[in-house]
Structure 1
Amino acid sequence: MADIVTTPNLKEPDTFYADLLTAHEGLTKEESDAYNARLILLMANQIGDHAVLKKLLDEARMRTGSA
């Protein structure tokens, strides 16, 4: 299965986080959830590799404490 990066890898993480918060400004909870879903699908499309995406899904689930 494909390797995934779990160590910090963003060149400007604070800038990205600020942009993400700005993108959510003025949205209702439902709109914010829909925005996140669209963003996830766009990022998944950008990655494009099912093996990588599956591993990311599994990793995210494991880190929720609900695995």
Structure 2
Amino acid sequence: MADLVTTPNIADADAFYADLIALHDGLTEEESAALNARLILVLANHVGDAQVLRQALDAARAAGRRDG
């Protein structure tokens, strides 16, 4: 079983974040939400491992509870 990587793992994370923000520039809130959903599905397909994806879902839910 593979495990979800939760430690920093993106080369030049600041540049990626800037690209992600720029991707949403000029979009409505609805268009931005739809773009996020498409991006999630593209990345989930790339990961492909159902166990890792379940870990990611669980981690995202847990992080949302801590933030709220």
Task: State the TM bucket, normalised to the shorter chain.
Answer: over 0.9
Where does residue 47 of structure 1 map in the other structure? 47
Gaps of 5+ in 2: none
Q: Deviations over 1:7-64 (max 9, x none)?
A: 1111110000000011000000000000000000000000011110001000110111
Identity value in percent = 58
Higher helix share: 2
1:61 is the counterpart of 2:58: no
| Alpha-carbon shift at residue 2 of structure 1 (Å) | 3.0
Gaps of 5+ in 1: none
Where does residue 37 of structure 1 map in the other structure? 37
Q: Aligned partners of 1:14, 1:33: CA distance in 2, in Å?
A: 22
Question: Once superposed, what is the RMSD of the aligned Cα atoms?
Answer: 1.2
Q: Aligned partners of 1:39, 1:45: CA distance in 2, in Å?
A: 10
Displacement over 3 Å in runs of 4+:
none
